[in-house]
Amino acid sequence: MILEGKTIDLRPLEVKDAEALLAFCKEPGIVRYNPFWADRDTVEDYAKLIGETKDAYAIVLKGQDKPIGVVGYEPNVDLNETALYFFLSDAYKGMGYTKEAVALLSDWCLKETDNKYLILVVPASHASEGRMAEKCGFMLYEKRTTIGHNLAGLSEDTYYYYRKF
C-alpha cells in the first residue's frame, strides 16, 4: 500500500530503510521521545525491527525513496486502544510533513481497517503536537496524569488524550 499526499508519500517500511533509520533515529528528539525506535545500534538491528514491525510506514518526499520519518499505528499496551505514532528527522520538522503523514494514515486507517477510532497520546509539554492532532481531525478528550508509572514510550506523567473517529 502506498498513500499519496501532496508533498509526501507513505509506503511500508522495507529492509533497505534500515540505514536511514539508524541515522535519524539517533537524533536527540527521537532518542528522547521514541526510545523504542532509538534503542538500536546497527543497521542489522533496524533491519530486524522492520521485519518484526507491522503497520509502520516510511514518510518519503514526493519523487524520492529515502525515509525522512515514520508513522504507524499499533495497540497501546497501557490503554488497550489503537494508537497512532510518528516521528520525523529534525532536518524536516516544521514543514508540514508530520501533519500530512498523520492525516493520510489516520484517514486511511479509519476507512480501511476495523478500527472504529484511533488515539494519539501527546505529552503535556508538546503543545505543537496537540495543535497538529486537532488539525488532522483528532479531538481532545482529556488531560490525564498517571500515578505510579508513565505510559509506555512517554517520559512524562501528564499527557493529552486525543481521539479521531
Which structural domain range is residue 105 located in? 3-164
pLDDT class of 99 with cuts at 50, 70, 90: very high
Q: Quick: pLDDT tens for 107-145.
A: 999 999 999 999 999 999 988 999 999 999 999 999 999
Asked if 18 and 46 touch (Cβ cutoff 8 Å), the reply is yes
pLDDT reported for residue 31: 85
Structural domains of the chain, count: 1
> What ranges in 4-163 are assigned the alpha helix state H?
18-24, 28-33, 35-38, 43-52, 97-112, 127-135
Q: What CATH number is attached to the domain comprising 153?
A: 3.40.630.30
Calculate the CA 65 to chain-centre distance: 18
Mean pLDDT rounded to a whole number for the chain:
94
Provide the whole-model pTM: 0.93
Residue 12 contacts by C-beta under 8 Å, 6 or more apart in sequence? 1, 56, 57, 58
pLDDT reported for residue 118: 98
